[in-house]
Amino acid sequence: MLGFMSFLRVLKLLIILICISIVHVGCLDFSYPSFSNENASDFISSNFPFIIKNAIQVTPDNAREIDMRRRSGRVLYNQKLKLWDGPRGTKASFYSTFVFNINPWTSPGGEGLAFIITEDSSLPNNSAGQWLGVVNSTTVNLLNIVAIEFDTKKSDSEDIDDNHVGVNIKSIYSIKQEPLIGHGVNLSSGEDITASIQYDAKSEKISVFVFSTRTGETGEGNFDNPLLNVHLDLSTQLPADVWVGFSASTGENTELNVVKSWNFSSFEIRRRNRKKQMEEDELEIEQEIQSLSTAPQKFRLQELKDATRDFNVAYKLGKGGFGMVYKGILNNREVAVKRILKNTRHGKQDFLAEVTTISNLHHRNLVKLFGWCYESNELLLVYEFMPNGSLDKFIFREADTILSWERRHGIICGVARALDYLHNGCERRVLHRDVKPSNIMLDSEFNARLGDFGLARTIQVNEKAHYSTKEIAGTPGYMAPESFHTRKATVETDVYAFGVLILEVVCGRKPENEHGIVDWVWENYGMERIGDVVDVRLNGDFKKGETECIVMLGLACCHPNPYERPLMRTVLQVLTGEAAAPVVPKEKPAFMWPATLSPIRQEFAASISGGELTTTLDLSGR
């Protein structure tokens, strides 16, 4: 344990030394034990005056006779921080400690304060209330901003409580949050609270410490145990030059959001020797893969080069997530070799995620992974070869073979079984996160094999959603409407993508715009013209009842309200005829956010025990 003041002094000396000797990245450094009016020009503020009683008032204070409700505000340091320099160049690490005080003006108070790192200095319009001055309903996911929120109001189902700290990326929903009450901190107690944000660019980690002045006395905090620890590479989320400071808001409930002191220090992390870094990466990957219970085979780069005639274009099978796929011949056996694009930012992480996830999964409707190779900065995965390629070829493009209705039905069932296995059938729940026809492979019998686990992330069943499932990912057209608000993958977002897939397989066409195919099919269904949506290439050769049932199932999966979508278990039961197709309204319901559980579903949910529905209902985490 390191005393807080001595900790600051040591780091400060270090930073000054580094900053004198070089560069521009990460040399922002300042310290305000308190604020006076003479310091005002050092800041950019959305309100005036903002320095009152030796402190920064982030939202307007009560000195002026204005209505304090529904206000938001921002105060930023007037020089930018250089976070990084060139995509593979140097990066800045920083730490910032500040003392803030939230005085609830009403009981309870609201809404909270945030430490922000942002591309845009200006306060968004209509960012009061739940938006904390961070984003508003239109800038969500559009502007580059990372916020550490100190939230004093539970404004929606995503908020854990009215006294928590959270890390938010371009959004007001936290990728991770922590209630503070168990740590002896009451944000809206009107007492001074010390917070420290430490960002380590090398380990790509942001740590948050919060101490109540009451329990932590003079801020002698414990820097061994952060309250929040989030894996985050800011250089992938933010531009090179960013503003740092605070934002805050009030709602119908109001409070004073005051910052009393603020230290900020940053320093440069130099790029490591590339060759050494590569060797370290190789070793790390090798160790991680070898530690798997069913480790796939390791191949040499030369073997795979020979197998694919040096990645000859003539051997190209297509483009998968994160890279090209080639056909290869290894020991007289046909294989598919995926070459991961080197310039994908998280190449190494995606590679490991895919290998780790898929190695632990065994199901006849999943593509089999044979082996892997990581050498000379080349990342390669070797899969079982699928003679019939991917499904998109058959439904969107002119293929010699027209998929018969029976085959289409079989493919839908196969994908449903694979997804049910991922969601409910294996030790750890896996979300696929990118279900779409180009990720469905067809074997020689046209059985569906779900592939491309690059985006898959494992989450422990019965455990709260792992934060990494919240990085938004997927393909437009297959993304559930709520994912634009929550930025996270859930069982329901997989079901939504599967619903779109069902409709595409039936209709033989692509979504023309965002929700094109869903709207189009829904309209036809409303007019009782399901027959009109079925692929014309089938020449009417399909079972009417079965088609109707499947279309309704597809629409149910695409229900705008995630809680109304069926679980994969139910989907399978409908497909096997054990259950009737879910009844869907004739008109597509409007998308509402936040979504609520209908009384009928609530009853249903209550009647099902634990596991299966916990993740479905758990939308925790702003």
Ligand X SMILES: *[C@@H]1O[C@H](CO)[C@@H](O)[C@H](O)[C@H]1NC(C)=O
Binding-site residue set for ATP: 342
> Strand ranges (DSSP E) for 509-577?
none
In angstroms and rounded to an integer, the radius of gyration of the C-alpha atoms of the chain is 27
Site membership for ligand X, residue 188 (CB under 6 A):
yes
Residues 6+ away with beta carbon under 8 Å from 87: 235
Dist CA 315 CA 309 (whole Å): 8
Site membership for ligand X, residue 112 (CB under 6 A):
no
Q: Choose between 189 and 196: whose C-beta lies nearer to ligand X.
A: 189
Q: Exactly one of 96, 139, 365, 616 binds ligand X (CB under 6 A); which one?
A: 139
Written in H, E and C, the secondary structure of 380-441 is EEEEECCCCCEHHHHHHCCCCCCCCHHHHHHHHHHHHHHHHHHHHHCCEEEECCCCCHHHEE
The sign of the CA dihedral 487, 489, 490, 495 is positive
Give min distance, CB of 56 to ligand X, in A.
Answer: 12
Q: Which stretch binds ligand X (CB under 6 A): 29-37, 196-204, 208-216, 317-325?
A: 29-37
Q: Choose between 59 and 615: whose C-beta lies nearer to ligand X.
A: 59
Dist CA 499 CA 411 (whole Å): 13
Q: Exactly one of 2, 24, 29, 30 binds ligand X (CB under 6 A); which one?
A: 30
Give residues 428-487 in contact with ligand X (rule: CB under 6 A). Answer: none
Give residues 527-586 in contact with ligand X (rule: CB under 6 A). Answer: none
Per-residue binding letters, 228-267, with ligand X (x by CB under 6 A):
----------------------------------------
Q: Choose between 258 and 317: whose C-beta lies nearer to ligand X.
A: 258
Q: Exactly one of 6, 62, 78, 126 binds ligand X (CB under 6 A); which one?
A: 126
Q: Which stretch binds ligand X (CB under 6 A): 120-128, 314-322, 541-549, 602-610?
A: 120-128
Give min distance, CB of 248 to ligand X, in A.
Answer: 16
- Prior bond of 124 cis (ω within 30°): no
Q: Choose between 163 and 207: whose C-beta lies nearer to ligand X.
A: 163
Q: Exactly one of 20, 21, 38, 65 binds ligand X (CB under 6 A); which one?
A: 38
Site membership for ligand X, residue 131 (CB under 6 A):
no
- Residues touching ligand X, count (CB under 6 A): 19
Q: What is the Cβ-side half-sphere exposure of residue 232, based on CA atoms within 13 angstroms?
A: 26
Considering the candidates 420, 434, 452, 494, report the single residue annotated as catalytic. 434
- Prior bond of 111 cis (ω within 30°): yes
User: Would you say 450 and 432 are in contact if contact means Cβ atoms under 8 Å apart?
Assistant: yes
The crossing angle, in degrees rounded to 10, of helices 516-526 and 491-507 is: 70
Site membership for ligand X, residue 101 (CB under 6 A):
no
Site membership for ligand X, residue 39 (CB under 6 A):
yes
Question: In angstroms, how far is the first alpha carbon of the chain from the final one?
Answer: 31
Q: Choose between 137 and 277: whose C-beta lies nearer to ligand X.
A: 137
Q: Which stretch binds ligand X (CB under 6 A): 9-17, 45-53, 137-145, 543-551?
A: 137-145
Q: Exactly one of 110, 124, 323, 371 binds ligand X (CB under 6 A); which one?
A: 124
Q: Exactly one of 90, 97, 136, 196 binds ligand X (CB under 6 A); which one?
A: 136
For the chain, the farthest-separated pair of C-alpha atoms sits apart, in whole angstroms, at 83
Q: Choose between 74 and 436: whose C-beta lies nearer to ligand X.
A: 74
Dist CA 466 CA 490 (whole Å): 10
Dist CA 350 CA 354 (whole Å): 6
Q: What is the Cβ-side half-sphere exposure of residue 450, based on CA atoms within 13 angstroms?
A: 33
The sign of the CA dihedral 64, 69, 72, 76 is positive
Beta-bridge mates of residue 333: 330
Q: Exactly one of 4, 32, 43, 199 binds ligand X (CB under 6 A); which one?
A: 32
**Taking the C-alpha atoms of 151, 154, 155 and 159 in order, what is their torsion angle to the nearest 10 degrees?**
80
Confirm whether 192 is a catalytic residue. no
CA angle 524, 526, 530 (to 5 degrees): 40
Pairing of strands 205-212, 84-85: unpaired
User: Would you say 482 and 389 are in contact if contact means Cβ atoms under 8 Å apart?
Assistant: no
Identity of the residue numbered 291: S
Give min distance, CB of 41 to ligand X, in A.
Answer: 10
Site membership for ligand X, residue 5 (CB under 6 A):
no
Site membership for ligand X, residue 311 (CB under 6 A):
no
Q: Exactly one of 189, 257, 263, 388 binds ligand X (CB under 6 A); which one?
A: 189
Known binding-site residues equal 342
Site membership for ligand X, residue 181 (CB under 6 A):
yes
Q: Which stretch binds ligand X (CB under 6 A): 181-189, 241-249, 522-530, 559-567?
A: 181-189
Site membership for ligand X, residue 41 (CB under 6 A):
no
Give min distance, CB of 124 to ligand X, in A.
Answer: 3
Q: Which stretch binds ligand X (CB under 6 A): 187-195, 217-225, 381-389, 416-424?
A: 187-195
Give min distance, CB of 238 to ligand X, in A.
Answer: 18
Give min distance, CB of 101 to ligand X, in A.
Answer: 12
Of 434, 385, 443, whose CA–CA distance to 411 is shortest? Answer: 443
User: Would you say 403 and 446 are in contact if contact means Cβ atoms under 8 Å apart?
Assistant: yes
Give min distance, CB of 39 to ligand X, in A.
Answer: 4
Q: Choose between 44 and 329: whose C-beta lies nearer to ligand X.
A: 44
Residues 6+ away with beta carbon under 8 Å from 205: 199, 229, 230, 231, 232
Positions that interact with ligand X (CB under 6 A): 30, 32, 36, 38-39, 104, 107, 124-126, 136-139, 181, 186, 188-190
Please give the positions annotated as active site: 434
